[in-house]
Amino acid sequence: MKRQFFGTDGVRGPYGGPVINENFAERLGIAAGRFVSRTKSDGSLRVILGRDTRISGQSLLQAVASGLASLGLECEILDVVPTPAVAAAVLREKAALGVVVTASHNPASDNGIKFFGPNGMKLSDEQELAIEQLLPDETPTLRGRATFSADGISAYLESAKQLLPANALRGWKIVLDTANGATCQTTPAVLRHFGAELVQIGAEADGTNINLGVGSEHPDKLAQRVRETGARLGIAHDGDGDRCVFCDENGAVLDGDEVLTLLAVDALKRGALEKNVLVVTLQSNLGVDTAIARAGGRVVRTNVGDRYVIEGMVAEGAKLGGESSGHFVCADVAPTGDGLVAALKVLEVMLRTGKPLSELKKALIKFPQVTRNLRVKEKKTLETLPHLPIAIQQVERELGDKGRVLVRFSGTEPKLRLLVEAATNEMAQAAIARLETVARTDLEVV
């Protein structure tokens, strides 16, 4: 059975719409409470909740907590914290569930709800479906009460401060973009702890400006400030802090594949990559496979979505994985994607090798890759489209083992995503132009 409300990263949509509103949030809290009450066997019914800086987050968080507490669950609200801080707290405190009200990199007009299990990892498709099936038709009149935690981030910060030597970044100038989001206090505190001089962007959250022209989705300002200030690198998070995007000392933005490859190759050289495996998604460039194989490792691919990456890592016994979009999972430190941990891991490689990012990123030689994102009026089942599946097969036959095609609908937005890799950029551009033309005949593009 297909999930109705959950996508690749929780429930998400415009605030005040048919799904993301206080009534539905409370009903979802009740459903999650029912799920926990039925599946938790050791008696622990504690839930840890947090949110990003969106103005709608406070009332939605209270609504979810009310629904959970009406089932007798003990709800502790950390308020504004990075998503990975909630995941870490769930694991550390042995809580039954974690909840984060966030729409991640989406605009402030959107919001969403993510759940984390006792292991600090996002719930599986099957668990999310089970929660949907426990949704009440209406919100009961019985309301629960939640408590606020006086300190939601100290333990998270202290853990991060163990990842580098004291004063390791003294003399380093770093441009930091916190997207006017949940990391406005946390990442600056940790980088300054290590002695870094920070040039900050997106550090004035007002509830309405999260991700507004800043953050991981808008790295141009980051790159410009790096060039202007002569910084060693730039670091940008998304609104809830589970992503990280970097630019080198020249202001060139690295994608997630370059970051994952440099981390994995460095670990392979030191014999420190668990199982010699890097886990990535179908979206990652084929050059990653080549680079990792050359260094003595192997790549395992999963469906798109950081929780599928984590599931793949668990299955393989791997400790490093991620997405080209900037989700990085360093499972030796954190149970889920964590932008701050990823930043410190990259800084660790720079410190150890003495090399700038412009040099380290050369570990990956990419296959030419082009993408298109088409906003559609309606997301349909890909296989039911009359022409696009045939066109995909034709392009795949022509590319053979020198390229690949990936076409999918976004799990969180009304978009069709097209990707083509080929031996040359000209071949890739021609192939994706064909696919886009066919897609526009099959779908209403807006």
Rounded to the nearest angstrom, the gap between the alpha carbon of residue 312 and the centroid of all alpha carbons in its chain is 15
Distances (CA, A) of 55 to 59, 101, 102, 205, 432: 9, 11, 11, 10, 39
Summarize the confidence of residues 362-378 as an average pLDDT.
94
- 10-14 and 6-7 beta bridge pairing: antiparallel
Pick the catalytic residue: 104, 216, 284, 324? 104
What is the share, in percent, of the chain residues with pLDDT greater than 90? 87
Residue 438 has pLDDT above 80, yes or no: yes
**pLDDT tens digit sequence for 264-287:** 999 999 999 999 999 999 989 989
Task: Write down the pLDDT at residue 230.
Answer: 98
Task: Write down the pLDDT at residue 42.
Answer: 64
User: Of the candidates 338, 334, 325, which has an alpha carbon nearest to the alpha carbon of residue 82?
Assistant: 338
**Of how many residues is the chain composed?**
446
pTM value > 0.75:
yes
| Residue 298: how many other CB atoms lie within 10 Å | 13
Dist. CA 309–CA 302, nearest whole Å? 6
Question: Under a CB-based contact definition with an 8 Å cutoff, are residues 174 and 231 in contact?
Answer: yes
Summarize the confidence of residues 111-138 as an average pLDDT.
95
Yes or no: domain 161-252 corresponds to CATH 2.60.120.330:
no
Residue 369 has pLDDT above 80, yes or no: yes
| Residue 70: how many other CB atoms lie within 10 Å | 19
Q: pLDDT-based confidence at 138, cuts 50/70/90?
A: confident
Low-confidence winner among 133-147, 155-169, 182-196, 246-260 (lowest mean pLDDT): 133-147
**pLDDT tens digit sequence for 6-54:** 988 899 999 999 999 999 999 999 999 999 998 876 667 899 999 999 9
CATH number given to 255-339: 3.40.120.10
Task: Write down the pLDDT at residue 150.
Answer: 62
Question: Mean pLDDT across the chain, nearest whole number?
Answer: 94
Question: Under a CB-based contact definition with an 8 Å cutoff, are residues 104 and 76 in contact?
Answer: no
What is the widest separation between alpha-carbon atoms in the chain?
63
Question: Under a CB-based contact definition with an 8 Å cutoff, are residues 242 and 84 in contact?
Answer: yes
Query: Is 104 an annotated catalytic residue?
Result: yes
Residue 1 has pLDDT above 80, yes or no: no
Task: Write down the pLDDT at residue 142.
Answer: 59
Question: Are 6-152 and 161-252 equal in CATH topology?
Answer: yes
Question: Under a CB-based contact definition with an 8 Å cutoff, are residues 68 and 29 in contact?
Answer: yes
> Which residues fall within 8 angstroms of residue 39, CB to CB, at 6 or more apart?
none
Residue 140 has pLDDT above 70, yes or no: no
Dist. CA 304–CA 411, nearest whole Å? 9
Residue 394 has pLDDT above 90, yes or no: yes
CATH number given to 369-442: 3.30.310.50
Question: Under a CB-based contact definition with an 8 Å cutoff, are residues 324 and 256 in contact?
Answer: yes
User: Of the candidates 3, 6, 152, 134, which has an alpha carbon nearest to the alpha carbon of residue 71?
Assistant: 134
CATH architecture of the domain 6-152 equals: 3-Layer(aba) Sandwich (3.40)
For the chain, give every domain's residue range: 6-152, 161-252, 255-339, 369-442
**pLDDT tens digit sequence for 405-424:** 999 998 778 999 999 999 89
Task: Write down the pLDDT at residue 283.
Answer: 86
Residue 432 has pLDDT above 70, yes or no: yes
